[in-house]
Structure 1
Amino acid sequence: MKVMIRKGADGILSVYIPKKDLEEPIVSMERPTMWGGLVTMANGWQLALPEMPDDTRLPITVEARRTTTGEEV
């Protein structure tokens, strides 16, 4: 699914999923740089993100894969 990842003015990373009109903060990351690993959103969903360079600029839209169901919206 297409997701947008951005960093707010407060420094918190969040994921926006347009098809669900859902925006949630990222609460944990499998890797320090986030890319190529799993991220967990505040609602419990886990997304597998693609490999990207560590210095990738945000905001960015990427193709991610949802690996858990978490809370249903």
Structure 2
Amino acid sequence: MNTLHQINEKARSVLRDALGPVDYARYQQQFSLGSGDYTAERQKAEQPDIETISKRVEELKAAGLLVPPPNARLLAGPP
């Protein structure tokens, strides 16, 4: 049984042979590790309140950009 490292090395070799060096490099670039802390950045992002959302929905409706699908029924929410 091969180690995970050996399997990965064999897979990279097969890809290099099949794609050629330029396309192999382009393929590898899509797997960059990135940087930063997504969770912390997401938590810092301003979250709109319900009034802001409701106002935006009404603006979209008034502009004709938010229309219900045909045969849609409005369901009553909690009292």
The TM-score range, normalised by the shorter chain, is under 0.3
Larger radius of gyration: 2
Of structures 1 and 2, the one with the larger relative CO (CA 8 A, separation 6+) is 1
Q: How does the TM-score come out when normalised to structure 1?
A: 0.17
Q: How does the TM-score come out when normalised to structure 2?
A: 0.16
Structure with the higher fraction of residues in helix conformation: 2
